[in-house]
Structure 1
Amino acid sequence: MPDTIETSTSESTAEMTPVTVSPSELVRRAQSLVPMIRERQEETEANGRVSAEIFGAIRDAEIFKILLPRRYGGFEYGLDTFAEVGFEIARGCGSVGWVNSVTAMYHVFLGMYPERAQDDVWGEDPGAVLAASFTPTGTVTPVDGGYSLTGKWMFCSGVDNCAWTIVGVTIPAAVEGEPDGKAYALVRTSEFDMENNWNVVGLSGTGSKNIMCNELFVPEYRLLPIEETMTGNPPGAAVNDGPLYRIPLFAAMSCSLVAPIMGMAQGAIDEFIDLTKGRITRGAALSKPAPMAELPGIQLKLGEAMAAVDSARLLVDRDLKDIMETVSSGRELTIDQRARNKGDWGYAARLSVQAVDAIFAASGGGGLFKTGRIQRYWRDTHAGSAHISMNWDAVGALYGRVTLGLPSGPAQF
């Protein structure tokens, strides 16, 4: 097991203050962090994880409070605010943006657990942040007072920075022939062993490593059946009465992926603009050297990329505002809404890939150097879009299938 988990302390429950930070101020704070995060891209990638310093700076900016329940000092702002802030952070670095968004989203996840489980985490430290791995590759067996957990989980993004981790588990059926149950177990990260296997071509700095445990005790109240996350009325709604915690888990979760993906594409655009303004062609394609910014082909690629990211952002923002309006009015999200959102967000990721492809193509030979940022944004955007929830072939087909009135199948959305 790891000797320590790098977290940062925060104020105690007794010192919590009312909401004083507006959504626009949180966006401004995120923007102010971008230069520092951008300058450390290469370091983050080389280390294979987000540093405690960067993670702490995000925490100090109160960005992790966006989806934290108010009773623990959080803001409980909408998913649209969350996504806008996540977009900005990812402009600085894809890996940092990814870890920021997914770990911050898990505040909604924990907010669905019974009050006692929430108190274990946020009663001890309201600034605690969680990692998660959803695939039920662990097994629990009933023991006195809870369960014995054994398993191995992949893709635990940001786990080095998180004091707690939620993992998917299978509950063997009590009666032969009946289906197994599925649930999520809440565990202190320090109780897991870690495998430093995260050696990848994109999002290399997310530290999305394997974790494992053997016969680890989990109290009964820290196990949340998957069906209770999909009803709109989870156990945590008894104490967290805001709309965030009544959104079916997978109807919200994917926005934590698409927001940083769009931000990565915008980061590539930002970098390209800065480089192109001072770039002079050596004359290989022209009769003499000329400013690259004056070339119509360069202008077209930039316009294509900007239009793609703008379109993606508008699509996602519309959907997130629609989610918040629906649940805030006490209504449930329809299957059609949920399928549309899933499809829209996958398409937004596709548009983001188109944007970085245009930028990379326009960058020429200079864009190939590993020390450059454009190639890193390009790799990171492609890596994020490889997530199954962002895979256009999968989510686009789901959107079409539901619209045609056919069963959605086993997809979680």
Structure 2
Amino acid sequence: MGQVLDRIMQHADEIRADAAEGETLMRLTDASAKSLRDSGVIRMLQPKEYGGFESHPREFAETVMATAALDGATGWVAGIVGVHPWALAAFDDKAQNEIWGADNDMWMASPYAPMGVAVPTDGGYVLNGRWSFSSGTDHCGWVMIGAAVGDKDGNRTGQILHVVLPRSDYEIDADSWNVVGLRGTGSKDLIVKDAFIPTYRTIDAEIVLSGQGWKHAGRDETLYKFPFSYIFPLGITSALIGMTEGALACYVAAQKERVQVSGIPIKEDPYVLFAISEAAAEISASRVSLLEMVDRFWDKTEKGVEISFAERAEGRRTQVSAAWRATRAMDEIFARAGGAAAHLNTPMQRFWRDAHVGLTHAIHVPGLIYHSAALTQLGGDPQGAYRAMI
């Protein structure tokens, strides 16, 4: 799907130019959202029968990286909203037809965290709750969110659902997103009050998390057999790596003619030159390790070989490590960028802020992931929370 990336790059200057306004608006500008929509990036993982491309996840990741290197917030929205069509492909056909039947460019926001409660009723559930961090939500007509199933008194039972509902059934808290980085993502809170969710617009989260969504939907395409625990974080980690690539590009452009206070041109300072090469190599290694794992998982999935828990744990460890490695490398060059890099009218500081906020996302927290990956290597069998998002 090189054509998708080509279409994004045709609007590269506009996306870069709109980044500052997006920060002020605390959402993508309408022009940036239109550039994403027109490019088709949100349809890359969407089923072909609904106007999607069913692209290789590597191509999706590379496209998200390139977009985030133009503007972190735009890449972040592409990476997160772009995964939701993959998730919807596991739902009942009736839900897919309802959302894509009239408009195959319909966007869905998230999050999947079960912050609300769905109480069973005739034909479905009644949903209430408040969800945080709904990236790109101002430009979406539907939302896919997690919900705990409750009893008649609203007490959580332990079962988790993923549910979809239209924009008319939830409220966006416009004042809930005022942050230091990724401001342009508009990752605002959603409020749902007594919304009826028909059963066909729900799916047991365990079906998705266990990698059986493709069976539930009667699909046989390699793309939809991919492990959820790898493809969902893929867009997020790809966006973060793209931000560090954008920061590196800004740094190199600014340093070419820079002369230090000492009077020594940057080009003649061996210590700075070493730091540039070291950072570039680390960011490149982060990118390569992420994409290599995608290719490895794809090849096994295409051959009908199940991805084991140990392999999934390695894959998640690779994602987390890539994000931290690239961010640390970016820090090394930002610290050598001079005071001018801190001015708010320069893009490098925005990449730096965006990447650090991106690193705080739950999928980039290393503790449980590293624990589980190492324990599995040593012959252990992680249980409970140590299997979460693996």
CA distance in 2, matches of 1:73, 1:24: 17
1:183 aligns with 2:149: no
1:301 matched residue in structure 2: 275
1:221 aligns with 2:200: yes
Aligned residue identity for 2:24: A
After TM superposition, the structure 1 = structure 2 runs for residues 163-174 of structure 1, keeping only pairs within 5 Å, are 163-172=141-150
Q: 1:224-278 CA deviation, whole Å, 9 max, x = no partner?
A: 1011113433267645431222223223111111101000000001111111112
Structure 1 residue 179, shift from structure 2 partner? 4.8
- Structure 1 range deviating more: 237-246 or 98-107: 237-246
1:315 aligns with 2:289: yes
1:193 aligns with 2:135: no
Against the structure 1 CA distance between its residues 394 and 364, is the aligned structure 2 distance closer, same or farther, given a 3 Å change threshold?
Answer: farther
1:15 matched residue in structure 2: none
CA distance in 2, matches of 1:161, 1:347: 31
- Structure 1 range deviating more: 291-300 or 141-150: 291-300
1:349 matched residue in structure 2: 323
1:126 aligns with 2:104: yes
1:263 aligns with 2:239: no
Structure 1 residue 338, shift from structure 2 partner? 0.4
Number of residue pairs aligned between Structure 1 and Structure 2: 386
CA distance in 1, matches of 2:90, 2:31: 29
Tell me, yes or no, if the aligned pair for 1:168 and 1:184 is still in contact at 8 Å.
yes
Q: 1:350-392 CA deviation, whole Å, 9 max, x = no partner?
A: 1111121012111111112122211111111111111121123
Unpaired segments ≥5 residues, structure 2:
none
Structure 1 residue 280, shift from structure 2 partner? 2.4
- Structure 1 range deviating more: 224-233 or 62-71: 224-233
Identity of aligned residues (%): 28
After TM superposition, the structure 1 = structure 2 runs for residues 29-68 of structure 1, keeping only pairs within 5 Å, are 29-68=7-46
Tell me, yes or no, if the aligned pair for 1:33 and 1:89 is still in contact at 8 Å.
no
1:245 aligns with 2:210: no
1:339 matched residue in structure 2: 313
Q: 1:322-373 CA deviation, whole Å, 9 max, x = no partner?
A: 1211221222211111000100010000111112101211111111212221
After TM superposition, the structure 1 = structure 2 runs for residues 25-174 of structure 1, keeping only pairs within 5 Å, are 25-172=3-150
Q: 1:4-36 CA deviation, whole Å, 9 max, x = no partner?
A: xxxxxxxxxxxxxxxxxxx23333333333332
Tell me, yes or no, if the aligned pair for 1:113 and 1:235 is still in contact at 8 Å.
no
- Structure 1 range deviating more: 231-240 or 107-116: 231-240
Aligned residue identity for 2:301: V
CA distance in 2, matches of 1:96, 1:407: 39
Structure 1 residue 398, shift from structure 2 partner? 2.5
Tell me, yes or no, if the aligned pair for 1:147 and 1:219 is still in contact at 8 Å.
yes
Q: 1:50-106 CA deviation, whole Å, 9 max, x = no partner?
A: 122111111212222211101112110111111000000000111111011100011
Tell me, yes or no, if the aligned pair for 1:346 and 1:389 is still in contact at 8 Å.
yes
Q: Which runs of 4+ in 1 moved over 6 A?
A: none
- Structure 1 range deviating more: 182-191 or 310-319: 182-191
Name the SS of the counterpart of 2:331 in structure 1. helix
Tell me, yes or no, if the aligned pair for 2:150 and 2:156 is still in contact at 8 Å.
no
Unpaired segments ≥5 residues, structure 1:
1-22
After TM superposition, the structure 1 = structure 2 runs for residues 262-301 of structure 1, keeping only pairs within 5 Å, are 262-281=241-260, 284=261, 286=262, 289-301=263-275
CA distance in 2, matches of 1:398, 1:344: 13
- Structure 1 range deviating more: 242-251 or 146-155: 242-251
Structure 1 residue 394, shift from structure 2 partner? 3.6
Tell me, yes or no, if the aligned pair for 2:23 and 2:183 is still in contact at 8 Å.
yes
CA distance in 2, matches of 1:279, 1:40: 27
Against the structure 1 CA distance between its residues 55 and 209, is the aligned structure 2 distance closer, same or farther, given a 3 Å change threshold?
Answer: same
CA distance in 2, matches of 1:108, 1:224: 14
2:342 matched residue in structure 1: 368
- Structure 1 range deviating more: 55-64 or 239-248: 239-248
TM-score (norm 2): 0.94
Against the structure 1 CA distance between its residues 64 and 296, is the aligned structure 2 distance closer, same or farther, given a 3 Å change threshold?
Answer: same
Against the structure 1 CA distance between its residues 405 and 189, is the aligned structure 2 distance closer, same or farther, given a 3 Å change threshold?
Answer: farther
Against the structure 1 CA distance between its residues 116 and 314, is the aligned structure 2 distance closer, same or farther, given a 3 Å change threshold?
Answer: same
Tell me, yes or no, if the aligned pair for 1:114 and 1:235 is still in contact at 8 Å.
no
